[in-house]
Amino acid sequence: MTDDAVPDRSDLRASDADRERVAEVLRDAVAEGRLDMAEFEERLEQTYAARTYRELAPITRDLPVPGAAAPPVVSLHKEPSRDGGWAGRIVGGEGSSTWAVAVMSGFQRKGRWTVPRRFTCVAFWGGGEIDLREADFSAGEVEINCFAVMGGVQITVPPGVEVVVRGIGVMGGFDQRESGVVGEPGAPRVVVTGFAFWGGVGVERKMTRAARRQEKLDRKAARRELHASFRDDVQEAHRRMLDGHKDLLRGHGLGLGPGERRGRREERRERRHEE
């Protein structure tokens, strides 16, 4: 096989997750002062307009990866699929992102990322979104420390995760609805702490889109199976009713063929003659 037959991987189409990883690097860069707001907005627009890895790569070429000196490189290989168990999602390590800041702006941590043992975020006249539904965890218990000043932070956890809320609110508040719900065996524990002043920290429990889609398909399959079973039961009851009706007609000499009716008449005549 010649080299011309091998496709250039940089020409492969980028996914939404790829674009979001690049956007996260840009948000960290503007928070660290590496980019001003004009550069950030320009590069962010280029990120969401990019269609291939070739278009994404130059956007973060001059920016360091958090915790490393090398520039961020968008992965061209599909990550291995999960086995679905909690043990496979508690991976150890330091976490892929340890803090986030939103000053009159916003931040997001979502998709495939590793939650550190302690994650700190600040929202000042801005908002943040922390989505743990597809995340890995560096430990069995992680802490999310939120400071919301005239802003807000929304935390989304998957079903099965235990949540403990210990934040303090002054003219603001921390959502306590999910606190105290017993977690599944082996699931991580998420402790939400911090301070909210004229702001709020919300916590909600939601399934991923894929899980919701699968649940919907399962419900449809169950309804189809129920309808098929009901249809079979009705048909069986109707068949038994017809069989019973035929037996009743035969008992009265009805519903028989001409030969059977003649035979019944002859039997009755013989019985009357013998009597």
DSSP-assigned letter for residue 45: H
DSSP-assigned letter for residue 185: T
Cα separation, 208 vs 139, in Å, equals 21
Share of the chain residues as helix, strand and coil, in percent rounded to the nearest 5: 40, 25, 35
DSSP string, 101-126: EEESSEEEE-SS-EE-SEEEEEEESS
Residue 136's H or E segment, with its range, is: strand 136-137
Cα separation, 208 vs 17, in Å, equals 14
Question: What is the total residue count of the chain?
Answer: 275
Q: Does residue 87 come out as left (phi exceeding 0), alpha (psi in the -120 to 50 range) or beta?
A: alpha
User: pLDDT at position 13, please?
Assistant: 85
Tokens representing residue 124 in the block: 């000042």
Per-residue pLDDT 10s for the chain (275 aa) are 444 554 556 678 888 888 888 888 888 887 777 888 888 888 888 888 888 888 888 898 888 765 444 444 454 443 444 555 788 899 988 888 899 999 999 999 998 999 999 999 999 999 999 999 999 999 999 999 999 999 999 999 999 999 999 999 999 999 999 988 888 999 999 999 999 999 999 999 998 766 666 666 667 677 777 766 767 777 777 777 776 666 665 555 555 555 555 666 666 666 666 66
Q: For residue 255, which of 266, 244, 271, 268 has the smallest C-alpha distance?
A: 244
Q: What is the pTM of this model?
A: 0.52
User: pLDDT at position 125, please?
Assistant: 94
